[in-house]
Structure 1
């Protein structure tokens, strides 16, 4: 099984980004690199923290806002659960969500999954590319969504670019660098949508 060991985010403000990642408790899995890669609009990916109940969503969002984050979509209930979207000081979009609509315990800051969602032009083609590079599919919904087995640290999923932007609450328009490098044991390559992978 392929393991994603670390994500590196390019940002002209690495100190602020590191403080933000530490506040969310993801600094063991995400690093910030000083780089001014030009990007406008949607960078083409989101990061998600999946938690167990609504008060934990609120606790994470509060920590994000207290450490340089900005609200994109306020936390609210929906058909699928409860969640909101914030943007970190490095420009990355974070969705913090739970499928539960009720609290059953204290708001301990603990996440169950850290998920990297790549917004791609063609989910079927992206799926085949990653299969050809040795990744294993764990869930797939036709041309709409696919998840891969990438170890316990960071999970990987592909979603249509427009659908992912809509889910995050922003316009799908964007140009320039993605400003993310995926570090794993899968080797060094660039996928069809321009996402860079490097050997860890």
Structure 2
């Protein structure tokens, strides 16, 4: 089965290069590389799950101290979850969410990294990834799909682009490239929404 092992974000300065490792911890599957992303909404967000609301608060505060912009302060959501949203120095939008599942020592330890793609046609993009070896874990028709992470470091999920932008409080319009290369253990490919996928068999330590 195919799995996604890393995410490489376009970043042009040292602050962005250091941000994700410092903000999310040394085990993060997020890397930075050369290149300039587009402007406005780039069609994806990075989801970061921790155990508790206190962990969300701590990661949120740390991210702001490291240069992130505050898009949504952490709070309890109508559906019962607890989350906040920041924008990293490179422009990547990061949603911090509590799972409600306690861990042994560190409330702010990242328990799951999720790549949420905003796509034009959820079913068409689902077929693309299924045909390339990813296994569907959850599916809600044309609204939301989540894939099994297998032994990879990243869970992939699909939303409609406008719905994803609304969820994090930004306009859905954007120009230029995504500023993202998805690393997986399969051949190079480009998905229906123009996201680049590249072989990445070795996980970032």
CA contact (8 A) 2:6 2:154 kept: yes
Structure 2 counterpart of 1:195: 195
Structure 2 counterpart of 1:74: 73
Structure 1 counterpart of 2:124: 125
Structure 1 counterpart of 2:44: 45
Q: TM-score when scaled to structure 2?
A: 0.90
After superposition, the Cα gap between the structure-2 partners of 1:91 and 1:55, relative to the gap in structure 1 and judged at 3 Å, is same
Matching of residues 41-190 of structure 1 within 5 Å: 41-79=40-78, 80-100=80-100, 108-151=107-150, 152-190=152-190
Unaligned runs of 5+ in 2: 201-205
Unaligned runs of 5+ in 1: none
* In structure 2, C-alpha distance between the alignment counterparts of 1:194 and 1:103, rounded to whole Å: 37
Q: Find runs of 4+ consecutive structure 1 residues off by over 6 angstroms.
A: 102-106
Q: TM-score when scaled to structure 1?
A: 0.92
| C-alpha deviation, 1:132, in angstroms | 1.4
Select between 73-82 and 116-125 the one with higher mean Cα deviation.
73-82
Cα-to-partner distance string for 1:157-193 (whole Å, 9 max, x where unaligned): 1111001001111010111100000011121000010
* In structure 1, C-alpha distance between the alignment counterparts of 2:53 and 2:106, rounded to whole Å: 8
CA contact (8 A) 2:52 2:107 kept: no
CA contact (8 A) 2:52 2:108 kept: no
Cα-to-partner distance string for 1:26-54 (whole Å, 9 max, x where unaligned): 664111112124x1110000001111211
CA contact (8 A) 2:10 2:36 kept: yes
Cα-to-partner distance string for 1:66-109 (whole Å, 9 max, x where unaligned): 11111011111112311110000011000001254x99997632
* In structure 1, C-alpha distance between the alignment counterparts of 2:103 and 2:175, rounded to whole Å: 43
| C-alpha deviation, 1:153, in angstroms | 0.8
* In structure 1, C-alpha distance between the alignment counterparts of 2:187 and 2:61, rounded to whole Å: 37
Structure 2 counterpart of 1:20: 19
